[in-house]
């Protein structure tokens, strides 16, 4: 089988959507015709487990393992829910949008398969409020799927029926955290919930709930149609499948590409991104959104997947990387990130609510030439105070990843701000930070 880019091969280059007729013409919804004896729910579960599919929302958790915690059988609570996480607010990340805008039916089919596997009869697509185009196209696709009987009716050969609703949200990054998302869907203030219990057993309205990233769900129909071996062969490493990678920042050709999982950052940057833009040089990159650690030149040959990063180097995150160039101040860069995190903190727990604005103020002091070496140690202490386990959810530890790694790799730039009493890039940067 010679499908190399299963998720995006049919997307139109101009970004216009494919609706039902075209989707079906290229094999869409074919998996549903095998429901019943040929493809039982436990087969879908098994195939997803054996495929080694790992969550594309940033965490890389094995999807099959997540599913295995869902109570099954006649005594399992009903209803169970499948939620697509389409909040995509991680700065630098734009991959789920590409899929939902171009091929909305792929998400619906992935959700029906997940629902069938777990005997979950209701689905929600949780979509960030700014994705108006995605909302429009998903709504049209959902209406088509209802009209065609893929939704809302027992599927041929089974007693299983799936209902699907689109929920457009109204901003706030924290809504992407799965338990905050559940509160948001219930019409409550979107602060995270304590875990355990995990949503797989106690989620939406107290019922078993699977929250899965949009890109993760798009993988499922292909795994079911083409099999586990094919899926493994797609990738260059032991994690199966492809990944939608992206690049933003000052490179020649920013954009997105579906490539084998395990492609290196160097190949992505040089072959696909066309290398650095004229007049700027590479200094480092965040591999997948701003909650990941900087990697530098010496890491560029690491495969971009979920198992190859040594823990002290970092993690892949969402796979859409942001490039730091030599004309951009690394301290100003990190200040921008920490201002985002401080603004988006939900305020529920003290270390994050108080700590992130403090970090932002400290970085501001560097930029404005008021920082001392004590401030450098204070920044360092925050990376420990807000480390995993010290806050209620992953937002604050995520905020510390780029800071801690910047202090490691760009320390002399922080120190230079102290010695010269200001930002070495300022003025110059104000003029040069124009479009390249």
Instruction: Summarize as ranges the residues that interact with another protein (CB under 8 A).
Output: 88-94, 96-97, 124, 128-133, 165, 167-173, 184-190, 205, 246-250, 254-256, 290, 320, 322, 325, 328, 333, 336-337, 340, 343-344, 346, 430, 433-436
Give the contacts of 322 (CB within 8 A, at least 6 positions apart): 91, 92, 247, 248, 249, 285, 286, 289, 290
Q: How many residues bind ligand SF4 (CB under 6 A)?
A: 15
Q: Does 322 bind ligand SF4 (CB under 6 A)?
A: no
Please report how close the Cβ of residue 231 comes to another protein at its closest, in angstroms: 27
CB nearer another protein, residue 231 or residue 414: 414
* Lookup: tokens for 415: 């120190």
- Rounded CA gap, 13 and 352, in Å? 42
- What is the tally of helices (H) and strands (E) in the chain? 16, 8
CB nearer another protein, residue 119 or residue 344: 344
Please report how close the Cβ of residue 48 comes to another protein at its closest, in angstroms: 27
CB nearer ligand SF4, residue 264 or residue 391: 391
CB nearer ligand FMN, residue 204 or residue 211: 211
Which residue, among 190, 169, 166, 171, has the nearest Cα to 179 in the 3D structure?
A: 190
- Rounded CA gap, 200 and 210, in Å? 6
CB nearer ligand SF4, residue 227 or residue 351: 351
The span of 60-68, 76-84, 255-263, 385-393 binding ligand SF4 (CB under 6 A) equals 385-393
Q: What is the binding site for ligand FMN (CB under 6 A)?
A: 55-59, 61, 85, 87-90, 173-174, 176-178, 211-213, 216, 393-395
User: 125 near 39, Cβ under 8 Å?
Assistant: no
Q: At what angle do helices 214-226 and 41-51 cross, to 10 degrees?
A: 110
CB nearer ligand SF4, residue 164 or residue 386: 386
CB nearer another protein, residue 2 or residue 434: 434
Per CB under 6 A, the list member of 164, 395, 400, 406 interacting with ligand SF4 is 395
CB nearer ligand SF4, residue 194 or residue 434: 194
* Helix residue spans in 58-213 (DSSP H): 63-68, 95-102, 104-118, 132-147, 178-185
CB nearer another protein, residue 170 or residue 381: 170
User: 276 near 247, Cβ under 8 Å?
Assistant: no
Which residue, among 126, 272, 257, 104, has the nearest Cα to 185 in the 3D structure?
A: 126
Q: Does 320 bind ligand SF4 (CB under 6 A)?
A: no
What is the phi/psi pair of residue 83, to 5°? -120, 125
The option from ligand SF4, another protein, ligand FMN, none interacting with 87 (CB < 5 to 8 A, set by class) reads ligand FMN
Please report how close the Cβ of residue 309 comes to another protein at its closest, in angstroms: 21
The option from ligand FMN, another protein, ligand SF4, none interacting with 256 (CB < 5 to 8 A, set by class) reads another protein
* Helix residue spans in 123-227 (DSSP H): 132-147, 178-185, 214-226
- Rounded CA gap, 425 and 417, in Å? 10
Dihedral sign for Cα 190, 334, 291, 99, please: positive
Q: Does 89 bind ligand SF4 (CB under 6 A)?
A: no
Contacts 24+ apart (CB under 8 A), 294-297: 294/324, 294/402, 294/405, 294/406, 294/408, 294/409, 294/410, 295/265, 295/405, 296/409
Contacts 24+ apart (CB under 8 A), 180-187: 180/346, 180/393, 181/83, 181/85, 181/87, 181/126, 181/211, 182/83, 182/209, 182/211, 184/126, 185/83, 185/124, 185/126
Please report how close the Cβ of residue 179 comes to ligand SF4 at its closest, in angstroms: 9
- What residues form DSSP beta bridges with 81? 122, 209
Please report how close the Cβ of residue 189 comes to ligand SF4 at its closest, in angstroms: 11
What is the SS3 assignment for 244? strand
| DSSP at 256 | E
CB nearer ligand FMN, residue 154 or residue 388: 388
Q: Does 396 bind ligand SF4 (CB under 6 A)?
A: yes
CB nearer ligand SF4, residue 86 or residue 192: 192
The option from ligand SF4, ligand FMN, another protein, none interacting with 345 (CB < 5 to 8 A, set by class) reads ligand SF4
Per CB under 6 A, the list member of 20, 48, 164, 174 interacting with ligand SF4 is 174
| Residue found by looking up tokens 């920042």 in the block | 249
The option from ligand FMN, another protein, ligand SF4, none interacting with 389 (CB < 5 to 8 A, set by class) reads none
The option from another protein, ligand FMN, ligand SF4, none interacting with 436 (CB < 5 to 8 A, set by class) reads another protein
Please report how close the Cβ of residue 72 comes to ligand SF4 at its closest, in angstroms: 31
Interface with ligand SF4 (CB under 6 A): 174, 191-192, 345-349, 352-353, 391-393, 395-396
């Amino acid at each position: 089988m010679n499908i190399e880019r299963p998720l995006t091969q049919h997307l139109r280059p101009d970004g216009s959507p494919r609706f039902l007729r075209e989707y079906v013409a290229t094999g869409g919804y074919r998996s549903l015709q095998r429901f019943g004896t040929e493809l039982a729910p436990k087969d879908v579960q098994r195939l997803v487990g054996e495929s080694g599919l790992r969550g594309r929302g940033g965490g890389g958790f094995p999807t099959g393992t997540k599913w295995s915690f869902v109570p099954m059988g006649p005594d399992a609570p009903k209803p169970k829910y499948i939620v697509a996480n389409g909040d995509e607010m991680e700065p630098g990340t734009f991959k789920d949008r590409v899929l939902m805008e171009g091929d909305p039916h792929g998400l619906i089919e992935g959700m029906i398969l997940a629902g069938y596997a777990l005997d979950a009869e209701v689905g929600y697509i949780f979509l960030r409020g700014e994705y108006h185009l995605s909302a429009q196209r998903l709504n049209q696709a959902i209406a088509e799927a209802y009209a065609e009987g893929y939704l809302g009716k027992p599927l041929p050969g089974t007693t299983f029926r799936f209902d699907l609703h689109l929920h457009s949200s109204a901003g706030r990054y924290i809504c992407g955290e799965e338990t905050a998302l559940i509160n948001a869907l219930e019409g409550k203030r979107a602060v995270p919930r304590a875990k355990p219990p995990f949503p797989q057993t106690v989620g939406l309205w107290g019922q078993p709930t699977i929250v899965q990233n949009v890109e993760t769900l798009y993988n499922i129909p292909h795994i079911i149609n083409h099999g586990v071996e094919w899926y493994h062969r797609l990738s260059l490493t032991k994690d199966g499948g492809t990944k939608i990678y992206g690049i933003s920042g000052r490179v020649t050709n920013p954009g997105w590409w579906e490539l084998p999982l395990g492609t290196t950052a160097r190949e992505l940057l040089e072959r696909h991104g066309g290398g650095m833009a004229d007049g700027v040089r590479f200094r480092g990159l965040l591999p997948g959104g701003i909650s990941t650690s900087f990697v530098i030149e010496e890491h560029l040959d690491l495969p971009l997947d979920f198992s190859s990063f040594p823990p002290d180097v970092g993690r892949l995150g969402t796979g859409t990387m942001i490039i730091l160039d030599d004309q951009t101040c690394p301290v100003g860069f990190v200040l921008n990130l920490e201002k985002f995190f401080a603004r988006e903190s939900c305020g529920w727990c003290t270390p994050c609510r108080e700590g992130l604005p403090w970090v932002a103020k400290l970085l501001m002091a560097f930029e404005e030439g008021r920082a001392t070496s004590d401030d450098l140690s204070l920044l360092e202490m925050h990376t420990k105070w807000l480390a995993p386990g010290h806050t209620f959810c992953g937002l604050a530890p995520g905020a510390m990843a780029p800071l801690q790694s910047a202090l490691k790799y760009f320390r002399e730039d922080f120190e230079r701000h102290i010695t010269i009493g200001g930002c070495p890039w300022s003025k110059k940067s104000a003029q040069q930070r124009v479009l390249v």
